[in-house]
Every structure is written in structure tokens, then in C-alpha cells.
Amino acid sequence: MKVKKYKASSMQEAMNQVRAELGDEAVILNSKAVKTSKFFGLVTKKGVEVIAAVDEEPIKHNCKLHHVPDMEPPKQQSIVQQEQFSFDISSQKELIENIQEMKRMMKGLKSANNRDSQLPDHFFDIEESLQRTELPVDLSEAASEYLYQEWLKSKTMSKRQMRETLKHYFMERIEQVDFEGNVYRKKFISLVGPTGVGKTTTLAKLAANAVLKHGKSVGFITTDTYRIAAIEQLKTYASILDAPIEVCYNAEDFQVAKRKLAHLDLVFIDTAGRNFLNEEFVRDLQEVIDFKAEMTTFLVLSLTSKMTDMKKITDQFWKVGIQQFIFTKKDETAESSSMYAMIEHYKIGAAFITNGQSVPEDLQVADKDLVITDLIEEIKK
């Protein structure tokens, strides 16, 4: 078997290389998105890395079958084969998934090769823009194929019409996702998430919004006893809003705090920012806070984070019970396509998007149109 690694700017280009060198019988063993840097790391470009293999023609021998000498298999050949398969195929399930992915990509490549030669240049501009977003490769390719099929119906779509077509496509994919604001449906509102995403500031924005726009009486509970600064920051916000605050170190403290603040309309719960890639920290949080009580829990994620990390964090908190996302730091990044990608992948909506540090101004109520409009704006660039 011949095994080779390919790098290209897009999956289509990589598949063209595979077919040109290994032929149509090639099998994709692994594929992943990569980033390459140029000019001493000042410029980065997204691409893909593909490991492909093909069975070589067996060597034919003109020998008599009645005499086959006993021979040990060449040890050197065994070593070479081991080196060729040094990449990690951790399980049979992973191998099956990779083969299925190969079939899907081959199908997409065939479709791309059969595309009409009259396709306008702005179609390929949009396709390239899709590939530069944080959308998963399969999603961006599916969007491109949908756009192509829609273009075939008239063959006269302008660039603006193509963007509107994509907007419709992305809207359909999350049509069943709930974006209805439910932040004030339950008395207790908790914010969870990793360190540095702005949970405490976001909590203060939500509380100020409840007081100033909805006339609610509010209180605070904080379990973030790891950072003294975090407690002092929340106490400052509580003082401005004339709201009581309770500091909890354990589950017993938390139950006492709930009883003390039971007379209020809403109680906002701040949690410690930890490295929640470590499952142990999530368990520690569950030991203090009763997430099964009358509570709405929002997972706060920063749009400046890597997509892979956002998914790992969400997977860790999934067992806690996440109602919706809150995305922060939109003002600190030019790429917000990860927001749509997370919503589409986990099928839960976003409640709010923050785009600055001002309390309570820099807080947007999220809806599908806003999220998809941001995605289309990114594709325009």
C-alpha cells in the first residue's frame, strides 16, 4: 500500500492532488484543517492536510507452484510498513468515519468537476470566502454546493443574490433552534464558562438590564472564591444596583444564600473561571451549585477563542444542562462565524452577544437574523 500526505489550500485542491497521483481508488485515511504561516508568522492562511493511501498492483511471479521454499518474510519490509502507518488510527470506528468522509469528499469533488463552465467569478469569490471562515469544512462545502444548485436554476444570479441565497440556506439549517429570550423565566440565572470570557461583567449587564428596563428586584450569589478581585468587582456592581450579594464557598453556603435571597425577583449566580478542559473542575462546580433547581444556565464563550476549544468546553458543560449560549468580545475579533457554527452544531440558541465593556449598554439580544447577518458580512470580506 502506498501512503502519502498532501497539503493544499482547500479540500477540493487536495482531492485533485490525490486523484492525480493515486487515482480514483485512493482512500482517505485522515483529514484535518491546518493553518500555515508566512513572512515570519505575520500572515496565516487556512488549509487542509490529507493522508491518502492506495493499494499498489501485486507483483506477479513466473514460478512453479509445486516448489515454494520456506522463507522468512523480509524484516526490513515490515519496518517500512510500520513507518508508513505511524499515523494514529485509534479505533475501527475512526477508520470507518474516515472512509465515509472520503466517500463524501469524492462525491463533492465529482460534483465540483461537473460544474458549469459558465459559473461567474463572484461564485468562486464567495466559495473562497466560505473556506476562510470558522465554519467546519463539510458545512462550507455543503453551502457551496447548495449555492451552485440554486445558480443552475437561472444562471443569472448576482453576487448580492448569491449572498441572499446563502442567508436563506443558513437560516433553514437552524430553523428549529430556539432563540426565544428566556433569561427571566426562572428566578435563578447562572453563568458558567472558562476564565477570561467576561462572565462577571456580562452578569452585571444582565442584572442592570433587569433592573433598569424591566423593573426587577435582583441579588447576586458568587462562588468565584478563587479570585478576590472577582468578588470585589461583583460587590461594586451590586452596590451600584443596590442589590444584596452572598459569597459561597460550598454547597451549604449556596443553599443558605438561596433562602436569604428568595424574596427577590431574580438572583444572578457568578461562577469561577477555571480551565474547564479539566473535567474535575466541572465536577467541583456541580458540588457547590444545584443546577437541577429552578435555574437557567448560560454558557459564556468568547468569540476570540479557537473553535476547537469552544467545542471542548461545551462538551464538558453539557452534562450540567446548558439552555443557551452567551457570546462575548465580538468587538475584539473580525471573525464571528464560530458563533453560527456552535449554534448549528449543538442545536441550542444564543441569548445575548456582548460587544464591549460598558455596563449595561454593550449587550445585544441575539436572534437568528443577527447571527446569520454577521456570518454573511464575514463572507463579504
| pLDDT over 70 at 367, yes or no | yes
225 lies in the same domain as 299: yes
- Tell me how far apart the alpha carbons of residues 63 and 310 are, in angstroms, rounded to a whole number: 61
The pLDDT-based confidence of 181 (bands split at 50, 70, 90) is low
72 lies in the same domain as 121: no
108 lies in the same domain as 126: no
Are 172 and 161 in contact, with CB atoms under 8 Å apart? no
Burial, 39: exposed, middle or buried (Cβ in 10 Å; 0-12, 13-18, 19+)? exposed
- Tell me how far apart the alpha carbons of residues 329 and 151 are, in angstroms, rounded to a whole number: 36
The pLDDT-based confidence of 83 (bands split at 50, 70, 90) is very low
Residue-wise pLDDT tens digits, 145-154 = 999 999 999 8
Are 52 and 27 in contact, with CB atoms under 8 Å apart? yes
Give the gyration radius of the chain's Cα atoms.
Answer: 27
| pLDDT over 90 at 261, yes or no | yes
| pLDDT over 70 at 291, yes or no | yes
Residue (of 97, 149, 137, 150) closest to 13 by Cα position: 137
* Assigned domain for 182 exists: no
- Tell me how far apart the alpha carbons of residues 114 and 12 are, in angstroms, rounded to a whole number: 13
Residue the block writes with cell 443557551: 324
Number of compact structural domains in the chain: 3
The pLDDT-based confidence of 290 (bands split at 50, 70, 90) is confident
The pLDDT-based confidence of 102 (bands split at 50, 70, 90) is low
163 lies in the same domain as 216: no
Residue the block writes with cell 472564591: 225
196 lies in the same domain as 49: no
Give every CB contact of residue 267 below 8 A, 6+ residues apart in sequence: 187, 188, 189, 218, 219, 220, 221, 258, 261
| pLDDT over 60 at 259, yes or no | yes
| pLDDT over 70 at 265, yes or no | yes
Are 220 and 234 in contact, with CB atoms under 8 Å apart? yes
* Assigned domain for 179 exists: no
Predicted confidence at residue 40, as pLDDT, reads 46
* Assigned domain for 93 exists: yes
Predicted confidence at residue 36, as pLDDT, reads 62
150 lies in the same domain as 83: no
> Strand, helix or coil at 8?
strand
108 lies in the same domain as 130: no
Lowest-confidence segment of 37-51, 63-77, 111-125, 362-376 by average pLDDT: 63-77
The average confidence (pLDDT) of the chain is: 80
With a pLDDT cut of 70, the percent of the chain lying above it is 78
Phi, psi of 165 (to 5 degrees): -65, -40
42 lies in the same domain as 84: yes
* Assigned domain for 98 exists: yes
Distance of CA 190 to CAs 47, 165, 206, 299, Å? Answer: 38, 38, 11, 9
Output the domain CATH number for residue 314.
3.40.50.300
Residue (of 206, 238, 208) closest to 222 by Cα position: 238
DSSP code of 347? T
* Assigned domain for 356 exists: yes
Between strands 188-192 and 266-270, the pairing is parallel
* Assigned domain for 178 exists: no
139 lies in the same domain as 233: no
Higher pLDDT pick, 376 / 41: 376
Predicted confidence at residue 101, as pLDDT, reads 54
Give the range of the structural domain holding residue 235, as residue numbers without chain letter: 188-369+376-380
91 lies in the same domain as 120: no
The pLDDT-based confidence of 277 (bands split at 50, 70, 90) is low
Mean pLDDT score, 226-239:
83
Q: Look up residue 98 and give its three cell numbers.
A: 474516515
Higher pLDDT pick, 361 / 82: 361
* Assigned domain for 337 exists: yes
Predicted confidence at residue 39, as pLDDT, reads 44
Phi, psi of 58 (to 5 degrees): -65, 145
> Strand, helix or coil at 61?
coil
Higher pLDDT pick, 24 / 239: 239
194 lies in the same domain as 341: yes
